[in-house]
Amino acid sequence: MTNSIRQFPCEGLICPICGEPLLQNGGSLLCGRNHSYDIARQGYVNLLPVQQKHSLAPGDTPEMLAARRAFLDEGHYSAIRNDVIRALDGIPGGVKAMADVGCGEGYYTAGFQRIFPQARVIGADISKAAVRMAASCDRNICWITATASRLPVKDGFVDAVTAMFSLLCEEEFSRILRPGGRVIEVTAGTRHLIELKRIIYDDVFAQHKCPKAPAGFLREIGCELRRFTMTLDGRQLRNLLLMTPHTLRVRPENRARIEGIDSLELTVEYFLRVLERAEN
Ligand SMILES: C[S@@+](CC[C@H](N)C(=O)[O-])C[C@H]1O[C@@H](n2cnc3c(N)ncnc32)[C@H](O)[C@@H]1O
């Protein structure tokens, strides 16, 4: 074991309390007004002040995160990740810095950093447990606990924001984007995992989905509905159920039915939307 202090990739970060730039000072990040944030030994920084937290442990539970990691690492959603990488590749001027907001356990974030090794990649999530798990993926990534509605990132610092099955905070994403920068958003379509939802819900199509039109900070430049199928065995299906919010709503008798399934073909359907920062 060494006690050497690791460099934390903090360029572009600002203090969530006063907005001053954050610089590394030993094992902490410090702003000009002496607000200090410890760099956790796992390689992330908690930049979510208590006043921005709306619950004690916001976000997915550790059990949901472990299921998400096991499922995603098997590559079932690699086509989605590749779609987003292509969209990032198409950003005029390239991607020198980006933020993956609502990064979860970091599967997509780590994939983006691998494809864009020169880019400064920030992975942000409101869940400390998620960011702690994510930090084990790639130590070059700037992993932070933060809320999407108040990102501790300088104005205009990033070329891209990704929001993978997470939330779109238009005004805030537009603030941290440079002019011409883009948001790549992935959201579930109405038929996403329809075969699983038919087991769980009585009225599946009542949950009709479509991305909301942007309110003015971002301009939509493309939105496509993509679809593919995957066949899962029982273990994979249980992980899938556990990693989604459906796990919180499924009735015990339906959970038992799902747990008895050996193999199921499922539809994966998602909107891939590209939005550009609107000119001021
Ligand atoms: C459905 S998960 C998606 C995780 C990851 N992007 C993926 O696709 O595997 C949504 C994530 O958004 C995070 N989240 C929810 N509200 C948030 C907020 N206000 N700010 C930042 N992250 C948030 C959750 O903790 C969770 O990790």
For the residues of 17-45, what is the DSSP string, one character each?
Answer: TT-PBPEEETTEEE-TT--EEEB-TTSEE
Candidate of 98, 132, 166, 172 to mutate for ligand 1, largest count of ligand atoms within 8 Å of Cβ: 166
Host domain of residue 150: 23-277
Counted domains in the chain? 1
Please give the full DSSP string across the chain, using - where no structure is assigned.
---PPPPP--TTBB-TTT-PBPEEETTEEE-TT--EEEB-TTSEEE---GGG-SSSS-S--HHHHHHHHHHHHTTTTHHHHHHHHHHHHTSTT--SEEEEET-TTSHHHHHHHHHSTTSEEEEEES-HHHHHHHTTT-TTSEEEE-BTTB--B-TT-EEEEEEESS---HHHHHHHEEEEEEEEEEEE-TTTTHHHHHHH-S-GGGG---PPPP-SSEEEEEEEEEEEEEEEEHHHHHHHHHHSGGGGT--HHHHHHHHT-SEEEEEEEEEEEEEEEPP-
Per the CB < 8 A criterion, the answer to whether 28 and 36 are in contact is: yes
The arithmetic mean of pLDDT across residues 234-253, rounded, is 94
Whether 18 maps to a domain, the answer reads no
Ligand 1 centroid from CA 4, angstroms: 32
CA angle 172, 18, 10 (to 5 degrees): 70
Residue 243 has pLDDT above 50, yes or no: yes
What confidence score (pLDDT) does residue 214 get? Answer: 87
Residue 9 lies in a domain: no
Give 155-187 pLDDT, tens digit per residue: 999 999 999 999 999 999 999 999 999 999 999
**From the CA of 163, how far away is ligand 1's center (Å)?**
8
Q: What is the pLDDT of residue 90?
A: 96
For ligand 1, what atom is nearest to the CA of residue 65? 27
Average pLDDT, the chain: 93
User: Closest ligand 1 atom to the C-alpha of 130?
Assistant: 27
Q: Tell me, yes or no, whether 142 lies in a domain.
A: yes
- Asked if residue 229 is part of any domain, the answer here is yes
The band of 2, judged by pLDDT with boundaries at 50, 70 and 90, is very low
Q: Say if residue 49 is exposed, middle or buried (CB neighbours under 10 Å; 0-12, 13-18, 19+).
A: middle
Q: Supply the pLDDT for residue 54.
A: 64
Question: Is the model more confident about 2 or about 238?
Answer: 238
Q: Which atom belonging to ligand 1 lies closest to the Cα atom of 104?
A: 27
Q: Is residue 83 part of a domain?
A: yes
The CATH number linked to 191 is 3.40.50.150
- The whole-angstrom separation of Cα 111 and Cα 86 is 12
Confidence of residue 212 (pLDDT cuts 50, 70, 90): confident
On the question of pLDDT at 56 being above 70, the answer is no
Closest residue by Cα to atom 4, ligand 1, is: 104
Quote the ligand 1 centre to 100 CA distance (angstroms): 10
CB atoms within 10 A of CB 230: 17
Whole-angstrom Cα distance, residue 171 to residue 168?
9
pLDDT tens sequence across 103-118:
999 999 999 999 999 9
Residue 1, pLDDT > 50, answer: no
The gap between the terminal CA atoms of the chain, to the nearest Å, is 51
In the predicted model, what is the mean pLDDT of residues 199-213? Answer: 78
User: Is 174 a domain residue?
Assistant: yes
Mutate which of 54, 125, 147, 173 for ligand 1 pocket (most atoms within 8 A of beta carbon): 125
Mean local confidence (pLDDT), 209-234? 92
Closest protein CA for atom 27 of ligand 1: 104
Give the residue, out of 126, 133, 144, with the most ligand 1 atoms within 8 A of its beta carbon, to mutate for a pocket test.
126
In the predicted model, is pLDDT for residue 201 greater than 80?
Answer: yes
More confident position, 17 or 204: 17
**Ligand 1 proximal residues by C-beta, below 6 Å:** 59-60, 68, 102-104, 107-108, 125-127, 130, 147-149, 164-167
Q: What is the mean pLDDT of residues 135-152?
A: 95
Is residue 152 pLDDT above 60, yes or no? yes
Q: What is the mean pLDDT of residues 73-92?
A: 98
